[in-house]
């Protein structure tokens, strides 16, 4: 009898590909294992076994496989099922899911580049001859291709050798240079133990009598460590004594003090578990009980709790519960880089059971986490991370937490699979029959709608923990303020007064501005020209720190212009404003305050984000100016005022979700204010003080916002009433883009009639010299999603068969955000 295997290959192929197996191979191979197989011309790929069977393919002759890479399946059957769901739902190939789902180190192929891992000691590892040769080769040249290794070892089948080396953590594959995630380190000093005894201590102080400044530091050290007898942060010591770093250095040089570093945030937790018992307040207890009783008959619960109501503590208890039942737990977050505070909280509670899965980690670290989860180890019982975590090989998942479930970054934008991690997590949870908790202070319309229609259960938490009041919101009408000349730059008199008050009281301020950069565009007052990017259809934006005009889409930049490039006039002004300009104005208004800025431009560097946050937490900064980034899960104790510089550019964004998003964003930023006893304050500057959304933010009226927006969505046929699929065509040729879009839209209209919108150019219709055009398909609730997708699929296949449109790419986005 002949044996065959269907493989998922990491390529955008529509179907699985069938290979033949020998009798021996067939008795060994199981679904979820990796096989190396030839594909196309002389290329080797890693494929995943989806099915072993006896049916030869109909249209081609099955080739034999190259070799088997695993001894045990690397994927569970639940994962295979899940991959298939993603591919079908998001209209992409299983191969594309595979690329997104597996750490690159698992995807050995003939094009793979092999490099030595930096972090390893080769002397300590046992190697066989082949492995030794490869390592030795890699010590001579920095990287090798698989073919070169084949020549080196003088054999054809080298992938198992590489595979072993990857497992031993000695080499890495396909690395773009991944930034090693290194936790931030703090400087500490401690007294040389030689001086610890009373007598030595006195002798030391005597010796230092002629160096009074050094003596003072030593005395302060004794004072500060009296109770704990341990080390001190350098920063604290210097602050206490007012001494200079030079004086401390003398003490270090004399070996009186010893210096060392401690990490503030650890990937793998080594500290003590500090927080053993949470005592809920009555509202948390009630919510917790309700959630549990809801889980009895419905597996998905929406937790709608205002900011700082203690949702995280509830998640922790739910996780604990899942662990007690011997199950695994997954904690999904919109953006991992922004959540060191939360990770610390979980690690304090669960210790090394928590693993963080981070796209910034090296491939090898990701492989390690993958294996922990696959083997259902104690380590990795709880995985916390951003969207790609849903692809880990869970064995027995008991709980999924989706924190800040409203965040649009849960949706992958590019490349395929363009999946929504929240929605996919719901499906993953169903596969395991796991409990799912979606939490937010400002739920997405979709989730709230689902709760409204009893698809999800819902639990509310309406009070902040510890009786902290919700902040008081004041709306400042800047139209009137401008007219009455009560504006200084972009600051109203009200905002300035309030800021002065807060600073006087020693509290901190957060200012939110939705744009980065200084002043988005330059405009000629004479002819109206603004400098454009030659590659994209956008104006260049002005960045004052390097005096450049930059394109935010492709990075093109030129020096700042002082004459109009079109008419030569000197009358150039800047239109709109961003975080950088707010910062500049602030420095003039509050010359004594310590100001820092957080946006994409200031957080590019390694750990720059953490530095900004740590400085703000330590109150080294008085005022923090920033974009959206500020809204994400930060818990600052001492913020007395949040200022929203301009609500209008949020509200006026051309998108059907703009109002919902503005509400969420403003309420989340507002939630950063007043997290302790004293009531916090929020000032919103706007040209439209009577806008419904502004009013709803002022009163924290989620329900009102929801009802009103829902009516609009109903009337204009948008989610949650209608589903959307967006097709984006792109091509370097303008008229081809147009023709192709027309053809596709007509073909779709033949079937879906008035539910096809466009083709239309998006707001930025050309990026990196490619033209873009969108077609939107609306799907009414009662129309079958499966059938609709089949039709789209068929039409796309006919489209691809048209020679003239060969250079046009079509991107399919299901549930675009």
* Contact characters 422-461, ligand ADP, x per CB under 6 A: ----------------------------------------
Q: Examine residue 4 and tell whether it contacts Zn ion (CB under 5 A).
A: no
Work out whether 556 is an interface residue with Zn ion (CB under 5 A). yes
Asked if 311 touches ligand ADP (CB under 6 A), the answer is yes
Residue 278 interacts with ligand ADP (CB under 6 A)?
A: yes
Tokens in use for 611?
A: 């530095």
554 binds Zn ion (CB under 5 A): yes
Among 330, 564, 666, 710, binds Zn ion (CB under 5 A): 564
Asked whether position 536 contacts Zn ion by CB under 5 A, the answer is: yes
CA distance 290 to 283: 10
Count residues near ligand ADP (CB under 6 A). 15
Query: What does 308 interact with, of ligand ADP, Zn ion, none (CB < 5 to 8 A by kind)?
Result: ligand ADP
Among 62, 97, 256, 551, binds Zn ion (CB under 5 A): 551
Q: Of 71, 28, 27, 32, which Cα lies nearest the Cα of 48?
A: 32
Nearer of residues 219 and 567 to Zn ion, judged by Cβ: 567
524 is in an annotated binding site: yes
Determine which residue in the list 524, 650, 684, 777 makes contact with Zn ion, applying CB under 5 A: 524
474 in Cβ contact with 684 (< 8 Å)? yes
Q: Pick what 251 binds: Zn ion, ligand ADP, none; C-beta below 5 to 8 Å, kind-dependent.
A: none
DSSP assignment, residue 519?
Answer: B
Q: Which stretch binds ligand ADP (CB under 6 A): 278-286, 535-543, 557-565, 570-578?
A: 278-286
Tokens, residue 745: 């839209």
Known binding residue 301? Answer is no
With 0-12 CB in 10 A as exposed, 13-18 as middle and 19+ as buried, what is 667?
A: buried
Cis? peptide before 415, omega within 30° of 0: yes
Closest CA to 417 of 790, 786, 93, 85: 93
We find the least distance from the C-beta atom of residue 559 to Zn ion, in angstroms, to be 16
The residue range among 296-304, 315-323, 556-564, 665-673 that interacts with Zn ion, by the rule CB under 5 A, is 556-564
Would you say 92 is a known binding-site residue?
no
Site for Zn ion in 416-475 (CB under 5 A): none
Q: According to the annotation, is 731 in a ligand binding site? A: no
- Identified binder of Zn ion from the candidate list 526, 532, 544, 649, rule CB under 5 A: 526
Residue 196, helix vs strand vs coil: coil
Contact track, ligand ADP, 459-478, x by CB under 6 A: ------x-------------
Hunting for tokens 């975590």 — which residue is that? 389
* Angle at which helices 234-241 and 245-253 cross, to 10°: 120
Only one of the segments 302-310, 533-541, 582-590, 801-809 lies at the binding site for ligand ADP (rule: CB under 6 A); that segment is 302-310
Nearest distance from C-beta of residue 314 to ligand ADP, angstroms: 7
* Nearest-approach distance from CB 291 to ligand ADP, in angstroms: 14
Q: 199 phi and psi, to 5 degrees?
A: -65, -45
What residue 566 binds from ligand ADP, Zn ion, none (CB within 5 to 8 A, per partner kind)?
Zn ion
Give whichever of 311 and 420 is closer to ligand ADP, judged by the CB atom. 311
Q: How far is the CB of 316 from ligand ADP (least distance, A)?
A: 8
Which of 313, 498, 580, 599 contacts ligand ADP by CB under 6 A?
A: 313
Picked from ligand ADP, Zn ion, none, the partner binding residue 310 (CB below 5 to 8 A depending on kind) is ligand ADP
**Per CB under 5 A, 213 contacts Zn ion:** no
Which has the closest alpha carbon to 12: 76, 115, 94, 118?
Answer: 94
Give the burial class of 153: count Cβ atoms within 10 A of its Cβ; 0-12 exposed, 13-18 middle, 19 or more buried: middle
- Contacts of 254 by beta carbon, 8 Å cutoff, 6+ apart: none
CA distances, 74 to each of 49, 176, 216 (Å): 10, 24, 61
Of these, 307, 584, 602, 698, which contacts ligand ADP (CB under 6 A)?
307
Q: Is 533 in the site for Zn ion (CB under 5 A)?
A: yes
- Binding-site partner at residue 526 among Zn ion, ligand ADP, none, CB < 5 to 8 Å by type: Zn ion
Determine which residue in the list 41, 279, 604, 782 makes contact with ligand ADP, applying CB under 6 A.
279
533 annotated as belonging to a binding site for a ligand? yes
Phi, psi (rounded to 5 degrees) for 22:
-75, 170
| Residue 278 DSSP SS3 | coil
Residue 635 binding: pick among Zn ion, ligand ADP, none (C-beta 5-8 Å cut-off by kind): ligand ADP
Q: Which is nearer to Zn ion, 564 or 727 (CB)?
A: 564
d(CA 398, CA 653): 40
- For 370, list phi and psi in degrees, rounded to 5: -55, -45
Taking the least distance from each CB to ligand ADP, the nearer of 79 and 284 is 284
Tell me which of 4, 85, 178, 280 binds ligand ADP, using CB under 6 A: 280
Closer CB to ligand ADP, 279 or 754, in the complex: 279
**Separation between Cα atoms, residue 725 and residue 716, nearest integer Å:** 16
Q: Which does 269 bind (CB under 5 to 8 A by kind): Zn ion, ligand ADP, none?
A: none
Q: How many residues bind Zn ion (CB under 5 A)?
A: 15
Beta-sheet pairing, 300-305 with 457-461: parallel
Site string for Zn ion, 567-596 (x = CB under 5 A): x-x---------------------------
65 touches 4 (CB < 8 A) = no
Query: Do residues 104 and 59 lie in contact, with contact meaning Cβ atoms separated by under 8 Å?
Result: no
- Nearer to ligand ADP among residue 305 and residue 393 (C-beta): 305
Instruction: Reduce the DSSP state of residue 271 to 3 states and report it.
Output: coil
Give the footprint of ligand ADP on residues 331-350 (CB under 6 A): none
Q: Which does 280 bind (CB under 5 to 8 A by kind): Zn ion, ligand ADP, none?
A: ligand ADP
CA 79 → CA 47, 163, 327, 375, 529, distances in Å? 15, 22, 17, 14, 54
Which of the choices ligand ADP, Zn ion, none does residue 536 contact, using the CB cut-off of 5 to 8 A by kind?
Zn ion
764 is a contact residue toward Zn ion (CB under 5 A): no
**3-state helix/strand/coil string of 370-427:** HHHHHCCCCCCCEEEECHHHHHCCCCCEEEEEEECCCCHHHECCCCCCCCEHHHHHHH
Q: What is the 3-state secondary structure (H, E, C) of 739-799?
A: HHHHHHHHHHHHHHHHHEEEEECCCCCEECCEEEEEEEEEEECCCCHHHHHHHHHHHHHHH
Those residues with Cβ within 8 angstroms of residue 27's Cβ, 6 or more apart along the chain or in another chain: none
Tokens of 339: 């959540």
Regarding 700 and contact with ligand ADP (CB under 6 A), the answer is no
279 binds, among Zn ion, ligand ADP, none (CB under 5 to 8 A by kind): ligand ADP
* Residue 639 binding partner per list Zn ion, ligand ADP, none, with a CB distance cut-off of 5 to 8 Å that depends on partner kind: none
Whole-number Å distance between alpha carbons of 534 and 528: 18
Per CB under 6 A, 309 contacts ligand ADP: yes
Query: Among all chains, which residue has been given the structure tokens 């009662």?
Result: 782
Q: List binders of ligand ADP among 617-646 (CB under 6 A).
A: 635
Torsion (CA) 50, 55, 60, 63 in degrees, nearest 10 = 60
Of 11-19, 47-55, 301-309, 532-540, the window that binds ligand ADP (rule: CB under 6 A) is 301-309
User: What tokens does 197 get?
Assistant: 């005894």
* Site of interaction with Zn ion (CB under 5 A): 524, 526-527, 529, 533, 535-536, 551, 553-554, 556, 564, 566-567, 569
Contact residues toward ligand ADP (CB under 6 A) are 278-281, 284, 305, 307-313, 465, 635
* Residues of the binding site for Zn(2+): 524, 527, 533, 536, 551, 554, 564, 567
Q: Binding-site residues, please?
A: 524, 527, 533, 536, 551, 554, 564, 567
């Amino acid at each position: 009898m002949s044996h065959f295997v269907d493989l998922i290959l990491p390529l955008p192929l529509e179907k699985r590909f069938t290979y033949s197996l020998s009798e021996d191979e067939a008795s060994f191979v199981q679904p979820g294992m990796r096989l190396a197989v030839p594909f196309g011309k002389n290329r080797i790929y890693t494929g995943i076994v989806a099915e072993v069977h006896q049916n030869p393919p109909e249209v081609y002759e099955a080739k034999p496989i190259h070799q088997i890479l695993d001894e045990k399946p690397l994927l569970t059957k639940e994962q295979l099922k899940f991959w298939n769901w993603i591919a079908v739902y998001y209209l992409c190939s299983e191969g594309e899911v595979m690329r997104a789902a597996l750490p690159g180190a698992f995807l050995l192929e003939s094009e793979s580049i092999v490099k030595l891992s930096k972090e390893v000691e080769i002397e300590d590892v046992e190697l066989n001859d082949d492995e030794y040769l490869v390592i030795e080769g890699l010590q001579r040249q920095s990287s090798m291709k698989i073919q070169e290794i084949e020549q080196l070892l003088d054999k054809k089948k080298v992938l198992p050798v590489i595979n072993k080396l990857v497992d031993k953590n000695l080499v890495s594959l396909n690395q773009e240079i991944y930034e090693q995630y290194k936790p931030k380190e703090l400087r500490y000093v401690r007294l040389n133990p030689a001086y610890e005894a009373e007598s030595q201590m006195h002798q030391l102080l005597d010796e230092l009598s002629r160096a009074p400044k050094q003596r003072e530091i030593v005395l302060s050290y004794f004072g500060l460590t009296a109770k704990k007898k341990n080390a001190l942060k350098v920063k604290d010591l210097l602050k206490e004594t007012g001494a200079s770093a030079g004086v401390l250095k003398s003490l270090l040089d004399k070996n009186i003090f010893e210096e060392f570093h401690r990490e503030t945030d650890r990937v793998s937790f080594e500290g003590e578990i500090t927080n053993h018992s949470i005592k809920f307040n009555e509202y948390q207890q009630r919510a917790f009980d309700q959630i549990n009783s809801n889980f009895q008959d419905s597996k998905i619960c929406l937790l709608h709790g205002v900011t700082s109501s203690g949702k995280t503590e509830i998640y922790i208890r739910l996780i604990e519960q899942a662990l007690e039942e011997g199950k695994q737990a997954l904690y999904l977050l919109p953006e991992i880089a922004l959540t060191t505070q939360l990770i610390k909280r979980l690690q304090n509670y669960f210790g090394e059971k928590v693993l963080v899965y981070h796209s910034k980690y090296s491939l090898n670290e990701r492989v390690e986490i993958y294996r922990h989860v696959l083997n259902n180890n104690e380590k990795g019982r709880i995985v916390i991370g951003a969207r790609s975590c849903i692809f880990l090989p869970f064995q027995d998942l008991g709980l999924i937490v989706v924190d800040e479930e409203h965040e649009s970054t849960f949706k992958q934008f590019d490349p395929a699979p363009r999946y929504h991690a929240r929605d996919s997590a719901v499906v993953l949870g169903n596969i395991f029959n796991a409990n799912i908790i979606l939490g937010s202070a400002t739920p997405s319309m979709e989730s709230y709608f689902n709760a409204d229609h009893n698809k999800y259960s819902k639990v509310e938490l309406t009070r902040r923990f510890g009786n902290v009041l919700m902040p008081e919101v004041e709306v400042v009408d800047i139209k009137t303020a401008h007219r009455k000349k009560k504006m200084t730059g972009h600051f109203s008199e009200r905002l300035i007064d309030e800021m002065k008050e807060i600073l006087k009281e020693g509290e901190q301020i957060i200012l939110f501005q939705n744009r980065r950069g200084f002043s988005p565009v330059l405009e000629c007052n004479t002819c109206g020209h603004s400098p454009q990017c030659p590659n994209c259809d956008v104006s260049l934006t002005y960045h004052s720190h390097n005096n450049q005009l930059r394109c935010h889409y492709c990075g093109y930049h030129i020096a700042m212009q002082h004459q109009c490039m079109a008419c030569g006039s000197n009358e150039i002004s800047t239109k709109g404003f961003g975080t950088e300009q707010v910062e500049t104005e602030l420095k003039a208004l509050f010359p004594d305050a310590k100001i820092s800025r957080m946006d994409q431009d200031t957080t590019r560097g390694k750990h720059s984000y953490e530095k900004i946050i740590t400085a703000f937490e330590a109150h080294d900064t008085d005022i923090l100016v920033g974009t959206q980034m500020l809204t994400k899960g930060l818990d600052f104790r001492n913020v007395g005022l949040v200022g929203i510089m301009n609500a209008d550019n949020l509200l006026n964004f051309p998108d059907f979700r703009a109002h919902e998003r503005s509400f969420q964003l403003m309420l989340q930023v507002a939630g950063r204010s007043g997290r302790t006893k004293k009531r916090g304050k929020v000032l919103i500057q706007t040209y439209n003080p009577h806008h419904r959304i502004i009013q709803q933010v002022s009163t924290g009226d989620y329900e009102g916002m929801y009802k009103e927006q829902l009516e609009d969505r109903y009337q204009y046929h948008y989610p949650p009433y209608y589903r959307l699929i967006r097709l984006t065509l792109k091509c370097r040729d303008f008229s081809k883009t147009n023709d192709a879009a027309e053809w596709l839209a007509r073909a779709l209209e033949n079937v879906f009639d008035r539910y096809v919108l466009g083709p239309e150019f998006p707001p930025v219709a050309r990026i990196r010299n490619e033209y873009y055009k969108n077609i939107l398909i609306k799907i009414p609730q009662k129309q079958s999603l499966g059938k609709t997708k089949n039709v789209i699929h068929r039409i796309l296949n006919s489209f691809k068969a048209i020679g003239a449109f060969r250079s046009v790419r079509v991107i399919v986005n299901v549930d675009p955000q």
